[in-house]
A and B are shown apart, each in its own frame.
Chain A
């Protein structure tokens, strides 16, 4: 979602060549959006005044098919379609940026359309749930007017969509002030993917409200409905995984120690409620559905569309752990079940997951990383496990703990997670260490210069024998050239001495950088960064301006990778502005979490009392 960025020169060129087309696209999109807005309001108006019936008939057809009220079935179906669209656009977008670098223009990147349509569709799905019901949709419903009530799940789904869409204008303001931050973990990017990620939960809230409003004997669906429920939790697993995507492509700009924590949190949050609500085997089933969906997207983006390859966590190890714990009597005590599951996932589950990571990811988890990884993952997963158990309690109609305790657990989990992330973001750049780099040409066809790299780091003991990575990353070289990415873990041939294991590109648009992450040390040395008039930067790096030579030698100090990997970023702003920007985005994110917490509490508060109306109470197991 890093939008296009131009030099004055490029813009002038674009306005005479490609700029007209881009402007047409923008105008077209504006017109489409205005039409969609007018249509939405008009259809909503006609429907609320009972002047059209097709929307009722359509939603009732979906309702009969999925054994749920119309105001659940149609919005959830729309949501599934749009969220898959957004997921595909998101993964494709990230891969295009990794392979190609900056976009030539905001709409020149086809993936952006899928994201835009997906996020907007998500908002519309939520609004459809809000607008559809003529009668009060369940006891928890939110009053809009005297005779118009909206389901909590619909309100929250629309809210998540709005929050994600808000990322677009804020992203623009952000880039205007700070330049491009070419990382997924830019605050406004986190809003867009976080909004979509958390929206998966709102679809399940909506489904629960619909189930509560359905007579028990009409709830049972066939295998199709069961699959949709597994898909719901698979969606939560994928939605919570969006923060890991840089790791999935092997281009993380942050320390590797984040990854196990993120995996443990996502797995616990999705699979604990799945097991609680859908019974034995549900955690594994949800993980398998998630694998299917992520696998299909990865296959489409990589092998089929020719963009960089991405992997994804399987969550089968965590699912297995949760299933085992679910066989014990702990399952009858939800909070304890959640906490123990969190612990199990963050230990045994992560170990099982690490086997998969070691096999397919570029960077396996070194043993030296485990103490810090566990210190981050265990407390986070414990808190997330408690929150997940409360989500599961909402879905199974069990009374939540007292409000103060419930909110306290959510707040504590947010604080613990924030603390763990803050720790993960800490890194040092070695002040005196020097990397001497020798590049030897191995091929040069049509100026496509490929080299072998020999690296000698002094002092030789600067990097331990078990670092997270000592590698050379070449990226943004264009999809036509090896998908625009080469990640080479260097072979250690002696103390402080490393050698590349495959040809490294130092030509054209390629950006090639030596990367080191060893415990808290994280730094890089530019090898080849082409001149970039778009951001007013000359060629940089050891090989800059010397690519004619068969052998190139240069020695450099290490520097923070943000200077190299986020070359487009603009540091010409007061430091406080960055802090204020981050705080605004943080506040928006906390409002989102508060909204979801409110919704869960409201649904649970209005649950049909077990003792008073036992006979009316729907079965909790679908």
Chain B
């Protein structure tokens, strides 16, 4: 899509408003990322701890 530069001088305010919106973004985003991080950490730790001893892990058995 083509757009034209309309020569507006709008840089001065942008920083201020973005600050506000970022505050909105963090509470929504942060817990989700943190939860995923915890799960990945658990998965990685389990593999490090057990993979050596369980090279022949059976795919179908949960326990």
- Once the chains bind, are A571 and B50 in contact (CB under 8 Å)? no
The CA of A427 and the CA of B3, in the complex, are separated in Å by: 11
> Within 8 Å CB of B56, what residues of A?
none
> Is B2 located at the chain interface by the 8 A CB criterion?
yes
CA distance A491 to B23 in the complex (A): 47
Report A566-586 residues with CB < 8 Å from chain B CB.
Answer: 569-572
Q: Which residues from 1 to 27 on chain A have a C-beta closer than 8 Å to any C-beta of chain B?
A: 3-8, 11, 22, 26
| CB <8 Å contact, A127 and B35 | yes
Q: How many A residues have CB within 8 A of the partner chain?
A: 68
Shortest beta-carbon distance from B54 to chain A in Å: 7
A8–B27 touching, CB < 8 Å: no
Q: Are the CB atoms of A4 and B10 closer together than 8 Å?
A: no
Mask, A145-184, CB within 8 Å of B = 1, is: 1111100000000100110011011011101110100000
Residues of B within 8 A of A149 (CB): 62
Contact B30 A33 (CB under 8 A): yes
**Which residues does chain B contribute within 8 Å of A29, judged by CB atoms?**
24, 27
For A569, list chain B residues within 8 Å (CB): 3
Q: Which of B11, B31, B57, B61 contacts A33 (CB 8 A)?
A: B31
Q: Does A36 lie within 8 Å of B20, measured CB to CB?
A: no
Residues of chain B contacted by A37 (CB below 8 angstroms) = 30-31, 34-35
Task: Say yes or no for A105: interface residue by CB 8 A criterion.
Answer: yes
A309: interface (CB < 8 Å) = no
Query: Which one, A4, A34, A146, A169, contacts B29 given CB within 8 A?
Result: A169
Asked if B36 and A162 make an inter-chain contact with CB atoms under 8 angstroms apart, the answer reads: yes
**CB <8 Å contact, A425 and B1:** yes
Q: Are A144 and B63 in contact (CB under 8 A)?
A: no
Contacts of A148 in B (CB 8 A): 42, 46
What is the bound-complex CA distance between A171 and B24, given in angstroms? 10
A269 to chain B, nearest CB (A): 25
> Which B-chain residue is minimally distant from A123 (CB atoms)?
B32
Chain B: minimal CB distance from A136 (Å): 4
For B6, list chain A residues within 8 Å (CB). 563, 571
Assess the B28–A168 pair: CB atoms within 8 A.
yes
Q: Are B25 and A136 in contact (CB under 8 A)?
A: no
Is A106 an interface residue, CB under 8 A from the partner?
yes
Cross-interface CB contact of A168 among B20, B25, B42, B43, cutoff 8 Å: B25
Partner of A26, one of B1, B4, B23, B60: B23
* A residues less than 8 Å from B4 (CB atoms): 559-560, 562-563, 571
Q: Tell me the complex Cα distance, A536–B4, Å.
A: 18
Contact of A22 among B12, B20, B39 (CB under 8 A): B20
Within the complex, which residue of B2, B11, B24, B30 is in contact with A572, where a contact is CB–CB below 8 Å? B11
Determine the chain A residues whose CB is within 8 A of the CB of B29 once the complex forms.
165-166, 168-169
8 contacts between A and B (CB under 8 A): A4-B20, A11-B17, A26-B23, A30-B27, A116-B28, A145-B43, A563-B6, A570-B10
